Amino acid sequence: MKLDFDGIRLQAPFYDETHREWRDSVVRPFIDKEIVPHIEKWEKDGDIPLEVYQRAGEVGLFQTGYSEAYGGVTDGVDIFHALITGEELARPGAGGVAAALTVHSIALPPVINFGSEEMKKKVAPGVIKGTHHISLAITEPSGGSDVGNLKTTAKKDGDHFIINGSKTFITGGLKANWFTTAIRTGGEGIGGISLILIPADAKGVSRSSVGPKQGWICSDTATIYFENVRVPADQIIGKENEGFKIIVNNFNNERIGMAAGAVAYSRVCFEEAASWAKVRKTFGQPLSKHQVIRHKFAEMLRKINSTQAYMDICGWHIKNGTPNAADIAMLKVQATKTMEFCAREAMQIMGGISYVRECKTERIYREVRVMAIGGGSEEIMRDLACRQMEL
């Protein structure tokens, strides 16, 4: 077994030649050429240049799973192509890269699946090409995972909505041309929530950076303000006051995507630590020859493989139309806990060198909390699973 990113990957029957070709001929060459050489600069700048998105669009990175009518590709494409994309984007060990280049995957599907045809034609082609950007705006300053209690409101005024409120921790919010926005259009609770597409250049919309962050440094994260923003009523996504169902449906793909990234980050930590342990000598022999260190690698691999298997089974169910929200929620917990464990153990193995900013494991260690909280915190995920079990 080669102790590298590919060598320790658990082989599964769900991946065929199309998946390997997608990884080896499209995604990996793009990442190695257009991303890996620039990560350090982007991390220092706290930004990814706009032309990178366009080049990603040109090679087809944003196409998979979207209708050919809007510039996408669906023929022969399934969830495993998306999981491979998530894994490969995590391979450089900088979470901001994956966050920035996959935010459309949580913001565009509601438009594609529930928006009007006019809305789809206006938004989807540019996003798929990488020339335009869309962000999902749900989280608010007053609450995170408690979507049912959001405060941003939309009041009917003839054939328009008047929107007031704010959103925060919005990934890609500074670059977005549109926001897929969760807004209260009705009464209290989940029954009064709608999704509305808001143009970022609409009068009354303003935005600012949330400021320096622990992780996801090269991905912009914004606070969005809506002050008497007038949006045509036909910009509602789906039916009025039924937006919560769309949000919940959308969470499954977001969570399995984050799980794919977390598993890949775990493999990156393993690879970097193994490479170091084989050349670093302590007490007259390579670090990797000490039993206590060898057992750390065994435990890391056990957790990585079990999580990979869980993810692949969840992917199979999504592909076959039988997704289980509880399993996907628990998968996200399993994946982020595995990532946290592997990042910690890799740093213990590598010692001082892992504390240097250019080290992948150092970056990944700082990404742990956002992965454990974003897309639904571990606590919320466990509670969701318990509700599914009717406990």
Q: How far apart are CA 177 and CA 191, in angstroms?
A: 28
Q: What is the DSSP string of 210-242?
A: ----SS-TTS-EEEEEEEEEEEEGGGEESSTT-
- The number of helix segments (H) and strand segments (E) in the chain equals 13, 10
Residue type, 123: V
Q: How far apart are CA 256 and CA 16, in angstroms?
A: 19
Instruction: Give yes or no for a contact between 104 and 62, defined as CB atoms under 8 angstroms apart.
Output: yes
Residue 390, SS3 per DSSP: coil
Instruction: Give yes or no for a contact between 126 and 301, defined as CB atoms under 8 angstroms apart.
Output: no
Helix (H) or strand (E) holding 98: helix 95-102
Instruction: Give yes or no for a contact between 246 and 224, defined as CB atoms under 8 angstroms apart.
Output: no
By the 10 Å C-beta count (0-12 exposed, 13-18 middle, 19+ buried), 158 is classed as exposed
Instruction: State how far Cα 320 lies from the chain centre.
Output: 22
Instruction: Give yes or no for a contact between 66 and 126, defined as CB atoms under 8 angstroms apart.
Output: no
Residue tagged 């974003």 (tokens): 374
Helix axes 360-373, 95-102, angle to 10 degrees: 50
Return the closest-CA partner of residue 133 out of 96, 92, 175, 99. 175
The end-to-end CA distance of the chain, in Å, is 43
Active site amino acids: 254
Instruction: Give yes or no for a contact between 108 and 134, defined as CB atoms under 8 angstroms apart.
Output: yes
Return the closest-CA partner of residue 8 out of 341, 382, 356, 306. 306
